[in-house]
C-alpha cells in the first residue's frame, strides 16, 4: 500500500464532475487494482484481470464475482460522503439477488431484505443487489424511495394526511390501482412498485408483516400518547444506483439503523413533513407566543428524547447523534492510519440537532465522490 497521499488519490476513480463516464475497461481495471491494495479484500489475480478485459472486449460487459461484489458494496458505503455511520463499513451483509429476473422475484427479495436486516430489532446493515443495467443503462428499478414508507394523501385543499414527502409517490400508486385502507391514517404503509426494462411498473402489497414499527411515547409523561406517533424501525433506501467497477446496479436497496434525529428532527419536525413541533409544544405547555421563548428548540429536544427512548425500550437498535458523531471521528482516524482520505459532505454529516455539539462541527471535508458508490439517479416517474 502506498503511503503517499498523492499516489493514493490518483488511482482512485473520481465520480464527481465527470461529464462522461469512463470506458468500462478502465473503470473495471481501476476497481480491480483498488482491491489489490486493500487488506481483507479479494485480490484479483493477473489471470482475473486478463479475463475481465477479454470479456469486456468480446461482450461489452463483465460480471463481478461474489467476493468482488461484497467488497465493492462495502467500499461504496465507505465512500458515501453523506453517511455519518461509516465506522461500521466492514460489517455489511451483501445479499446477491442478481439472478432475480421477474418482478415477483424482486419483490420476494425485498421482503427477505426487510426480514434479514430487521432481525427482530438487532438491526444488521444490509444491501440487496439486483441485476446490473445493460449497456443502455436500463435495468430493474424499485420506484419507492424506501421499502417501508408512509403514504401522503392529498385532499382537495392540497393538505396532506400522512407524509407530504410521499405525496407524489402516493398519487402514482393510486393511479396504478392501489387501494388504500378504508380508513386512511397518517401512517399507512405504501405498496412497492417494481419495473423491468421496457416494461410497465407493477404494484405489490405494502410489506406489512415484514415492517417492524415502533410507537413513539415520551419517557416521562403521557403528553404525546394521544398523537399515536409511530415510525418504521428500518430505513431501506431503494432509489439509489450502486456503481462498482463501472457496473451500474439501478436497484440495490440498502439499510442501516436509524440515528434518532432522522426521525425526531427531520421526519417529524420539518414544516414540509409531519410538522409536529407546534403540536408537541402545546402538549408540553410551552409558551409559543414568541420565537424567543425557544419553544421550537425545547419541543425538538423532547421529541428526539421520545424517539430514542421508544426505540431503545422495545429493543430496536438506534444511535444518538452524539455517539454517531464520535463514531465518525473514529472512522476518520482509522482511515487516516491506513493512509486514506475521508471525504464528506459537512452539511450532511452535522446532525440537525445541536450541531455545534457534534465532534465534527469544526472539521472540514472534501465532498468529492469516488467509485464505488451509491449515487442518485433519475426518478422513473
Ligand atoms: N433519513 C432517512 C429517513 O429518515 C433515512 C436515510 C438512511 N438512514 C440510515 N440511518 N441508514 O428515513
* 323-337 pLDDT per residue, tens: 999 999 999 999 999
Give the residue among 325, 324, 323 at the shortest CA–CA distance from 362: 325
User: What distance in Å separates the CA atoms of residue 27 and residue 247, rounded to the nearest whole number?
Assistant: 8
Give the residue among 50, 241, 234 at the shortest CA–CA distance from 132: 241
Instruction: Please answer whether residues 65 and 42 qualify as being in contact, where contact means their C-beta atoms are separated by less than 8 angstroms.
Output: yes
83 is catalytic: yes
CA of 101 to the centre of ligand 1 (A): 28
Residue nearest to atom 12 of ligand 1 (CA): 235
Distances (CA, A) of 129 to 11, 24, 37, 133, 162: 26, 19, 24, 12, 30
Residue nearest to atom 10 of ligand 1 (CA): 258
Average pLDDT over residues 346-370: 98
Residue 34, Cβ neighbours under 10 Å: how many? 21
CA of 135 to the centre of ligand 1 (A): 31
Pocket test for ligand 1, best of 237, 267, 270 (most atoms within 8 A of CB): 237
86 is catalytic: yes
Residue nearest to atom 5 of ligand 1 (CA): 235
Maximal CA-CA distance, the chain? 72
Distance of CA 314 to the CA centre of its chain: 23
Average pLDDT over residues 281-295: 98
* Cβ of 374 below 6 Å from ligand 1: no
pLDDT digits (tens, 9 = 90+) for 13-33: 999 988 888 999 999 999 999
223 is catalytic: no
CA of 258 to the centre of ligand 1 (A): 6
Distances (CA, A) of 124 to 34, 50, 74, 154, 325: 26, 36, 14, 35, 20
Q: Which residues neighbour 183 within 8 Å (Cβ) at sequence distance 6 or greater?
A: none
Between 135 and 5, name the one with better pLDDT. Answer: 135
Average pLDDT over residues 139-148: 98
pLDDT digits (tens, 9 = 90+) for 206-236: 999 999 999 999 999 999 999 999 999 999 9
- Residue 6, pLDDT above cutoff 70: no
Percentage of residues in the chain having pLDDT higher than 90: 94
Residue 154, Cβ neighbours under 10 Å: how many? 16
Amino acid at each position: 500500500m502506498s503511503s503517499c497521499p498523492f499516489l493514493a488519490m490518483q488511482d482512485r476513480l473520481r465520480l464527481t464532475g465527470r461529464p462522461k463516464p469512463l470506458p468500462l475497461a478502465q473503470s473495471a481495471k481501476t476497481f480491480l487494482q483498488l482491491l489489490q491494495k486493500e487488506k481483507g479484500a479479494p485480490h484479483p489475480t493477473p489471470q482475473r484481470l486478463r479475463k475481465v478485459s477479454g470479456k469486456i472486449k468480446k461482450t461489452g460487459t463483465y460480471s463481478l464475482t461474489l467476493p468482488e461484489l461484497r467488497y465493492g458494496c462495502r467500499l461504496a458505503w465507505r465512500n458515501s460522503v453523506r453517511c455519518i455511520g461509516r465506522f461500521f463499513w466492514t460489517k455489511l451483509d451483501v445479499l446477491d439477488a442478481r439472478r432475480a429476473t421477474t418482478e415477483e422475484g424482486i419483490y420476494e427479495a425485498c421482503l427477505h431484505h426487510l426480514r434479514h436486516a430487521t432481525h427482530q430489532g438487532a438491526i444488521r446493515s444490509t444491501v440487496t443487489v439486483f441485476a446490473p443495467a445493460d449497456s443502455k443503462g436500463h435495468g430493474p428499478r424499485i420506484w419507492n424511495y424506501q421499502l417501508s414508507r408512509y403514504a401522503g394523501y392529498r385532499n382537495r385543499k392540497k393538505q396532506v394526511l400522512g407524509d407530504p414527502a410521499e405525496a407524489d409517490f402516493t398519487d402514482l400508486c393510486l393511479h396504478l390501482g392501489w387501494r388504500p385502507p378504508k380508513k386512511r391514517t397518517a401512517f399507512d404503509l405504501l405498496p412497492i412498485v417494481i419495473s423491468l426494462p421496457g416494461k410497465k411498473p407493477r404494484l405489490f402489497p405494502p410489506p406489512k408483516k415484514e415492517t417492524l414499527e415502533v410507537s413513539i411515547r415520551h419517557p416521562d409523561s403521557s403528553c404525546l400518547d394521544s398523537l399515536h406517533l409511530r415510525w418504521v424501525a428500518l430505513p431501506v433506501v431503494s432509489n439509489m444506483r450502486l456503481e462498482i467497477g463501472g457496473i451500474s446496479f439501478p436497484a440495490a436497496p440498502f439499510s442501516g439503523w436509524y440515528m434518532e434525529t432522522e426521525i425526531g428532527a427531520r421526519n417529524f419536525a420539518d414544516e414540509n413533513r409531519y410538522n409536529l413541533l407546534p403540536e408537541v409544544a402545546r402538549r408540553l405547555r410551552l409558551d409559543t407566543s414568541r420565537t424567543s421563548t425557544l419553544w421550537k428548540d425545547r419541543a425538538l429536544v423532547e421529541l428526539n428524547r421520545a424517539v430514542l427512548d421508544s426505540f431503545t425500550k422495545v429493543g430496536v437498535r438506534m444511535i444518538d447523534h452524539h455517539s454517531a458523531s464520535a463514531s465518525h471521528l473514529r472512522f476518520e482516524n482509522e482511515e487516516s492510519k491506513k493512509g486514506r482520505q475521508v471525504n464528506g459532505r459537512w452539511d450532511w454529516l452535522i446532525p440537525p440537532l445541536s450541531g455545534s455539539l457534534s465532534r465534527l462541527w469544526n472539521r472540514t471535508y472534501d465532498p468529492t465522490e469516488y467509485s464505488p458508490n451509491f449515487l442518485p439517479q433519475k426518478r422513473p416517474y
